[in-house]
Structure 1
Amino acid sequence: MVENRPYRNFLAYLVLTIGIVIVAFPVYLAILASTFDAGTIANGNMPLLPGDQAVTNYTRTIFEGASRTSREPVGGMMLNSFIMAMGIAVGKILISILSAFAVVYFNFPFRKTAFWVIFITLMLPVEVRIYPTYKIVADLGLLDTYTGLVLPLIASATGTLLFRQFFMTIPDELLEASKIDGAGAFRFFKDTLIPLSITTIAALFVIQFIYGWNQYLWPLLITTKSSMQTIVIGIKKMITTQDALTEWQIAMTTAVLAMIPPVLVVIFMQRLFVKGLVETEK
């Protein structure tokens, strides 16, 4: 029997509370700053209670943008980031699940070699292959396009490994039963594997959506038009080296808006996300 020691529970909750405060306080300050005017933030005496400029700041940020630095509305930046994040998440899932299906359920020459070649790419970060990837995208005329933003980032060794490990836990009897019923490879994949993989798909979707939403280096390289920049690049452009030129209320409002889509994705898919990461028996 596990002993119930109240002081240990209190200590655990105390440490957890302190950690939450440390992480959440900067977010709270950003939300506060988005409700004040530039003068209140600049003088360093910002109260710890919300101001009365929230509607003005958010309306201006979404539809107008920062007049001194980035003149593009943040609403357009969020749309670009959303399209990029969704494209990367969906593309990575499709390629990963199909490649894992091929590696596990098809016998072809050098099958294991193909998997290990895919796995080795985990050691190569995006920065290592950034120049040749940029050269190919530029030669194909994909600069300043959604295709150029999404296509080079949809291959995922992590997703392939995740689906492969899950497919290897599925009993062979299910495959044999599908064959007895006259199901082909595609029907087995569609009617059996995909329904069983829902939690894994959800977990990978959340991870890859946030990965795509937070991309900075790749969009910075291939977008030259202000209308194609993502919200992460927009925040960087709003914060200049001279404090006098930075409209901090707009920058903080943009930062708050940038947090909303990833947070909503995690909230709405939390249950499936946790199951996909920790569930061992499907």
Structure 2
Amino acid sequence: MIENRPLLKLTAHLVLIAGVALVAFPVYLAIIASTHGPTDFMSGIIPLLPGPHAVENYRQVLSSGVSTSGIPPISLMMTNSLIMALTIAIGKIVISLLSAFAIVYFRFPFRALAFWAIFVTLMLPVEVRIVPTFQVVANLGMLNSYAGLSIPLIASATATFLFRQFFLTVPDELMEAARVDGAGPMKFFFDILLPLSRTNIAALFVILFIYGWNQYLWPLLITTSSDYYTVVMGIKRMADVADSYPQWNTVMATVVLAMLPPVLVVICMQRLFVKGLVETEK
């Protein structure tokens, strides 16, 4: 028998509503701040109602940038961030799929050692090896380039591990049937494994896209030209001004625009993303 407890149900709903409000309130403040003028924040009090300068602020950051911060228009920085995030996400998934496929379905000497060598690199994130990685990138002439922004961050032991674990759950009968039908290794990979891995790929793509989009330290280190600034770098530079007050209206307009691509990716791939994370056989 299911007990009807209105008070408990009401309490649960109030807790959930409070949690949503707590998470959404900073986003609301950023949106409201992006609609006001630069002088509205001099008093130190953040307005809670929309202002009349929304179109002006968004037009400024999209077209001309903020001259006092020395950064390019946000449209260029968002393009750089988009290229970097897509290259990292797609590159990590492709390399991880192929490496996991080789480790699971090919028999070669030291196969287990190869997997654990890849897995151990989890203890060496880019922040730990940033000095030698920068030296290699500089020696290869990849500073101030999309290749320098993306390639050093492409390899992913985590994605390789996840795909390996999923491939191990695929029945051997599928491989045997494909072999009987005359399918080679790559045909088996493209026609059977890739369709079965669709939800895993979607879940990893969302995570890796956001990972690439939010990168700050590595782009800051290897970019000296404003043509390759990413949007996260731009927000930091807009907020750090030496001789004047930050123009919080344009900073918050940039923050709101920078939120849109990750949010759109999550919304568009939400069904596959959740399915890829919660399916028990994964």
TM-score category by the smaller chain?
A: over 0.9
Q: 1:127 to 1:46 in 2, by over 3 A?
A: closer
Which residue of structure 1 aligns with residue 52 of structure 2? Answer: 52
1:70 Cα deviation after fit: 2.6
**Within 2, Cα distance between the matches of 1:241 and 1:68?**
8
Matching of residue 98 in structure 1 with residue 107 in structure 2: no
Which residue of structure 2 aligns with residue 25 of structure 1? Answer: 25
**Within 2, Cα distance between the matches of 1:200 and 1:3?**
38
After TM superposition, list the pairs within 5 Å mapping 1:262-281 onto structure 2: 262-281=262-281
Superposition TM-score, scaled by structure 2 size: 0.96
Indicate if the aligned counterparts of 1:64 and 1:71 stay in contact, CA closer than 8 A: no
Q: How many residues align?
A: 282
Residues 24-80 of structure 1 deviation map (CA, whole Å, 9 limit, x = unaligned)? 111101100100100112224443221111111001001111111133101000000
Q: 2:144 is paired with a residue of what secondary structure?
A: coil
- AA matched with 1:174: L
Superposition TM-score, scaled by structure 1 size: 0.96
Q: 1:245 is paired with a residue of what secondary structure?
A: coil
**Within 2, Cα distance between the matches of 1:28 and 1:167?**
43
**Within 1, Cα distance between the matches of 2:243 and 2:17?**
34
1:134 Cα deviation after fit: 0.5
- AA matched with 1:27: V
RMSD: 1.4
Matching of residue 80 in structure 1 with residue 80 in structure 2: yes
1:2 Cα deviation after fit: 4.9
Indicate if the aligned counterparts of 1:133 and 1:152 stay in contact, CA closer than 8 A: yes
Indicate if the aligned counterparts of 1:68 and 1:245 stay in contact, CA closer than 8 A: no
Which residue of structure 2 aligns with residue 184 of structure 1? Answer: 184
Which residue of structure 2 aligns with residue 221 of structure 1? Answer: 221
1:15 Cα deviation after fit: 1.4
Residues 184-240 of structure 1 deviation map (CA, whole Å, 9 limit, x = unaligned)? 000000000000000000000000000000000000000000111100000000012
**Within 2, Cα distance between the matches of 1:36 and 1:181?**
66
Which residue of structure 1 aligns with residue 125 of structure 2? Answer: 125
Indicate if the aligned counterparts of 1:70 and 1:234 stay in contact, CA closer than 8 A: no
After TM superposition, list the pairs within 5 Å mapping 1:1-282 onto structure 2: 1-240=1-240, 242=242, 244-281=244-281
Can you give the 5+ residue segments of structure 2 that lack an aligned partner in the other structure?
none
Stretch deviating more after TM superposition (209-218 or 16-25): 16-25
**Within 2, Cα distance between the matches of 1:33 and 1:251?**
9
Stretch deviating more after TM superposition (109-118 or 36-45): 36-45
Identity %: 63
Can you give the 5+ residue segments of structure 1 that lack an aligned partner in the other structure?
none
**Within 2, Cα distance between the matches of 1:236 and 1:214?**
12
1:244 Cα deviation after fit: 3.3
- AA matched with 1:25: F
